[in-house]
Structure 1
Amino acid sequence: MSQNRDFAAVILAAGKGTRMKSGMHKVLHAIAGRAMIDHLLDSLAALHPSKTVIVAGDRHEQLRDALVGRNVVVALQEPQLGTAHAALQAEAALKDFRGLVMVCFGDTPMVKASTVQRMIDALDETTRVVVLGFRPADTLTYGRIITADDGSVRKMVEHKDADESERQCDLCNSGVLIAHSDDLWRLLKSVGNDNAQGEYYLPDVATQAIAEGARVVAVETDPAEVAGINSRGELAAAEAQWQRLRREEAMEAGVTLRAPETVFFSHDTELAADVTVEPNVVFGPGVKVASGATIRAFSHLEGATVGEGCEVGPYARLRPGAVMEKGSKIGNFVEMKKAILGEGAKANHLTYLGDAEIGAGANIGAGTITCNYDGYFKHKTVIGERAFIGSNSALIAPVTIGADAIVAAGSAVSRDVGAGDLRMVRAEQLVKQGWADRFHDTMKKKKAAEKKD
């Protein structure tokens, strides 16, 4: 954006969102683990807005709480008299701002900064207002943008107020517009409510500008970019759209997805080139995977860092704070939480590693558990380099296993093990010769006697 064109954003989020049937504000519902309003704010951040105002109504307190730390102002619309009335509520927050103002909706989170930039570029000395249009496969009840032969906008009309010829037009209004602040507030104040709904409609800003003899133009974009989210079904469709685009981006960047449609990303997932992801993998927030790593089928990762050449799964779970260093491996039904698995270390199956630090080259046997919680506090387990932990061992933290030490299978270790030592913690085995044979004979006779009775 040109440096001499100051830009501000007004986001309308005052609707009740009744179709969501939720106690949570509509724009706080998540796509890829991130609230839809945050997706939109992140996109607009690329344009460096001088100010951003969110106009809220019902459940406005939820928005204020959710946006703490964001450089935004929440303005209140009460009562709610329509979209033009909502946009006008941002005037006070922008009273000292002079420049271009974009008005959009909080429930259309896929709007791209590049599209807004095209709208900005379309504003010039002869154009007073720019609106964003799209051509859907089904025009449904969208408002229409009626254009003249020269491509300028001749009329903006809501579906309910359109006649049959106007409804034949397939250029629909997304609700996004841009105007200079000198024009916007004046035009908003001149909007009336003489329509089927008795509301003050935002598109009438363009209608008012046209009535003044000003030029209004429409910029077109893909319908998917401006799809509104008003129900759980539409939220799911937006999630599917986002995931599809993210999978395509990943593969273009050199990631192998064996069954792309079964892999789900979070908004901040980072996969390096030459990562391989097998079917049915879910990435929660905060995951980074380095080059050459393989994430095998049915694994779930969240808040985890996977190093170069590592192998995860199948059926593995990495929870927040899990770090796998270069060449390490966890196998089926292994769970890590707040634990570091050193370079080349392995935990191949049926293991829980929590609040632990495992040294390079260590081998963790099947069924090993780091007992990190005493009911009140978490404690740490440290396992040295090249240590061998036998199957079905319980390491009762806090405890340290030295380098090259061996913990025998079936041990419950509650004291530190020195480097190079063997620790075996087992009850003495008792053998009663012939006892099992005598037991079987007695039971068989008893059962036979019961049948005779």
Structure 2
Amino acid sequence: MESRVSQAQSRTVVVLAAGEGKRMKSATPKMLHPLLGRTLLGHVLHAAGAAAASRTIVVVGHKADQVRAHLTEIAPGATPVLQAEQNGTGHAVRIALDAIPEAVGTVVVLNADVPLLRPETVEALVAAHESTSRGATVLAAEVPDPAGLGRIVRDADGNLERIVEERDASAEERAVREINAGIYAFDAALLREALGKLSSDNDQGEEYLTDVFGLLAAVGHPVGVYVAADAQETLGCNDRAELARLRALLRDRVNTAWMRAGVSILDPASTWIDVTVTLEPDAVVDQNSQLQGSTSVATAAVIGPDTTLIDTVVEAGATLLRTHSIGAQVGPDATVGPYSFLRPGTRLGRKAKIGGFVEAKNAELGAGAKVPHLTYVGDATIGPKANIGAGTIFANYDGVNKHHTVVGEAAFVGSDTVLIAPVEIGPGAYVAAGSAIQKDVPSGDLGVTRAPQRNIEGWTVRQRPGTVSAEAAERFEQQRSEDAGA
């Protein structure tokens, strides 16, 4: 039997991504619309990887430059081939094969708008095709409502006779609920020969790739059907409503898989997890939370409710409550929130704390350091066990350049303080509340910049007569006089 490696060397994947997707009503090509961590095209290319092909061709057309740029990011090994005029799926595959005349063996063709397709299904389709030495095999599915989809037409013995597009189907054929998923495996040589015989004599005036099946069957080459175990995998999308439906189905699939892997998702319907995210058993994700990009969540961490994490690393036992985080790292047993914003470059050590209404950017908190509330920390290093009081501002930007602030181990910064970078607060140093610090405070010292307090007697009654404040002051003074005379 031919080895897996040698089979891979004789396989080619062709992904059809040239269409405009007019019903999306979007400046973005349909294939580039996002769906839980990947574009539609990205999901299909991921599934196509199961074919273990030696080459992947992506047929581009509408806004080809955007699609090429995306391929450079997500699949640099794929080769884009331009279909300047969209004259049908058969025409698209012919253009793809013309670009690789050396291709032999199996050609796997996929439409780029079936993001729920699983790699396992692609692998099974290829295996079924190659094990039976067919000329062509189509992936099919049994659906409750086949409206708008191509139908699988079988003969009296149940063998594939042809595939017919709905617009060209008879009333009897339209009643068939077994549909064409737009995913195929072909023998390369037979496919090339059949593509040269395609006609555009149909309702759309296009070359249908599906006509290859009828052409091969008519001359005695075996063709067949592989039926998907889950019809949802074959669903495509043509507009935003259908895209939203696919997004919800993928959300449910992803959440179910994580729950079965030991993750607690308290409200799966309001929890959205990208396919690129990783979680460990015993992690907890509370309601209304979104985990996106390269986010990873370790065991016993608690996320949410009402939390969004993008490209964020959460280590074991950490808790993030009503937090928005981008590109941050939250250390073991650290706590964040509620209503805090972690920006890129923020790193929290073990048991560090960022409390409510805190924004942090490019800031490192050592083990046990605390920024409890109402603070901006930008471009700073805060040592272990240091404490930052409420209302503190790390003034890191002078209008031209960013500057760094260092707060040493176990230092204490009082409330309503401005630390004007570049500045360093030494280990064990204190900063008095209400100070504006622009010079270093050495280890163990107290930094104070407050001016002496001065009270102007009777100012409110004289300067704000008739106000509620003046009336309150007058009542108080009158009561104090009466009490003094009693």
TM-score, structure 1 length as denominator?
A: 0.91
Match of 1:205 among 201, 212, 215: 212
Separation in 2 of the partners of 1:152 and 1:386? 78
Q: Cα deviations across residues 127-155 of structure 1 (Å, max 9, x unaligned)? A: 22111111222111111012346553122
Q: Does 1:215 align with 2:222?
A: yes
**Distance apart, 1:98 and its partner CA:** 1.8
> Are the equivalent residues in 1 in contact too, given 2:46–2:119 (CA < 8 A)?
no
Q: Does 1:98 align with 2:104?
A: yes
Alignment of structure 1 residues 4-83 onto 2, 5 Å: 4-6=6-8, 7-68=11-72, 70-83=76-89
Identify the residue that residue 474 of structure 2 maps to in structure 1: none
**Distance apart, 1:441 and its partner CA:** 5.3
Q: Does 1:285 align with 2:293?
A: yes
After TM superposition, the structure 1 stretch with the greater mean CA deviation from structure 2, 327-336 or 178-187, is 327-336
Separation in 1 of the partners of 2:281 and 2:385? 26
**Distance apart, 1:75 and its partner CA:** 0.7
After TM superposition, the structure 1 stretch with the greater mean CA deviation from structure 2, 58-67 or 244-253, is 244-253
> Are the equivalent residues in 2 in contact too, given 1:32–1:267 (CA < 8 A)?
yes
Q: Residue type matched to 2:95 in 1? A: Q
Identify the residue that residue 308 of structure 1 maps to in structure 2: 332
Separation in 2 of the partners of 1:403 and 1:33? 43
Q: Is the alpha carbon distance of 1:126 and 1:234 closer, same or farther for their aligned partners in structure 2, counting shifts above 3 Å?
A: same
**Distance apart, 1:171 and its partner CA:** 0.6
Q: Is the alpha carbon distance of 1:346 and 1:81 closer, same or farther for their aligned partners in structure 2, counting shifts above 3 Å?
A: same
Identify the residue that residue 3 of structure 1 maps to in structure 2: 5
Alignment of structure 1 residues 266-281 onto 2, 5 Å: 266-281=274-289
Separation in 1 of the partners of 2:86 and 2:77? 25
Identify the residue that residue 413 of structure 1 maps to in structure 2: 437
Match of 1:184 among 184, 191, 194: 191
Q: Does 1:380 align with 2:421?
A: no
How many residue pairs end up in the alignment? 447
Separation in 1 of the partners of 2:384 and 2:102? 60
Separation in 1 of the partners of 2:236 and 2:170? 24
Q: Does 1:399 align with 2:423?
A: yes
Alignment of structure 1 residues 216-365 onto 2, 5 Å: 216-221=223-228, 222-298=230-306, 299-365=323-389
> Are the equivalent residues in 2 in contact too, given 1:284–1:301 (CA < 8 A)?
no
> Are the equivalent residues in 1 in contact too, given 2:358–2:375 (CA < 8 A)?
yes
> Are the equivalent residues in 1 in contact too, given 2:47–2:122 (CA < 8 A)?
no
Q: Residue type matched to 1:10 in 2? A: V
Identify the residue that residue 453 of structure 2 maps to in structure 1: 429
> Are the equivalent residues in 2 in contact too, given 1:15–1:58 (CA < 8 A)?
yes
Identify the residue that residue 147 of structure 1 maps to in structure 2: 154
Separation in 2 of the partners of 1:86 and 1:155? 20
Equivalent position SS for 1:67: helix
**Distance apart, 1:62 and its partner CA:** 1.2
Equivalent position SS for 1:117: helix
Q: Residue type matched to 1:27 in 2? A: M
Q: CA RMSD in A?
A: 2.4
> Are the equivalent residues in 1 in contact too, given 2:50–2:123 (CA < 8 A)?
no
Identity of aligned residues (%): 39
Q: Does 1:157 align with 2:181?
A: no
Q: Is the alpha carbon distance of 1:187 and 1:267 closer, same or farther for their aligned partners in structure 2, counting shifts above 3 Å?
A: same
Q: Cα deviations across residues 317-371 of structure 1 (Å, max 9, x unaligned)? A: 2222222222222222222222222222222222222222222222222222222
> Are the equivalent residues in 1 in contact too, given 2:97–2:103 (CA < 8 A)?
no
TM-score, structure 2 length as denominator?
A: 0.85
Alignment of structure 1 residues 102-121 onto 2, 5 Å: 102-121=108-127
Separation in 2 of the partners of 1:285 and 1:343? 27
Identify the residue that residue 450 of structure 1 maps to in structure 2: none
Q: Residue type matched to 1:355 in 2? A: D
Q: Is the alpha carbon distance of 1:288 and 1:367 closer, same or farther for their aligned partners in structure 2, counting shifts above 3 Å?
A: farther
**Distance apart, 1:125 and its partner CA:** 4.4
Separation in 1 of the partners of 2:179 and 2:142? 6
> Are the equivalent residues in 2 in contact too, given 1:91–1:185 (CA < 8 A)?
yes
Separation in 1 of the partners of 2:294 and 2:396? 23
> Are the equivalent residues in 2 in contact too, given 1:284–1:303 (CA < 8 A)?
no
> Are the equivalent residues in 1 in contact too, given 2:50–2:122 (CA < 8 A)?
no
Q: Is the alpha carbon distance of 1:148 and 1:380 closer, same or farther for their aligned partners in structure 2, counting shifts above 3 Å?
A: farther
Identify the residue that residue 451 of structure 1 maps to in structure 2: none
> Are the equivalent residues in 1 in contact too, given 2:51–2:126 (CA < 8 A)?
no
Structure 2 stretches lacking a partner, 5+ long: 307-322, 472-486
**Distance apart, 1:172 and its partner CA:** 0.5
Separation in 2 of the partners of 1:422 and 1:291? 41
**Distance apart, 1:437 and its partner CA:** 4.5
> Are the equivalent residues in 2 in contact too, given 1:286–1:304 (CA < 8 A)?
no
Equivalent position SS for 1:379: coil
Q: Residue type matched to 1:137 in 2? A: P
Separation in 1 of the partners of 2:231 and 2:221? 27
Separation in 1 of the partners of 2:282 and 2:224? 45
Separation in 1 of the partners of 2:412 and 2:265? 34
After TM superposition, the structure 1 stretch with the greater mean CA deviation from structure 2, 108-117 or 326-335, is 326-335
> Are the equivalent residues in 2 in contact too, given 1:295–1:312 (CA < 8 A)?
no
Q: Residue type matched to 2:39 in 1? A: A
Identify the residue that residue 478 of structure 2 maps to in structure 1: none
Identify the residue that residue 395 of structure 2 maps to in structure 1: 371
Separation in 2 of the partners of 1:150 and 1:317? 64
Q: Cα deviations across residues 280-310 of structure 1 (Å, max 9, x unaligned)? A: 2233433233333223333222222222222
Q: Residue type matched to 1:263 in 2? A: T
Structure 1 stretches lacking a partner, 5+ long: 448-453
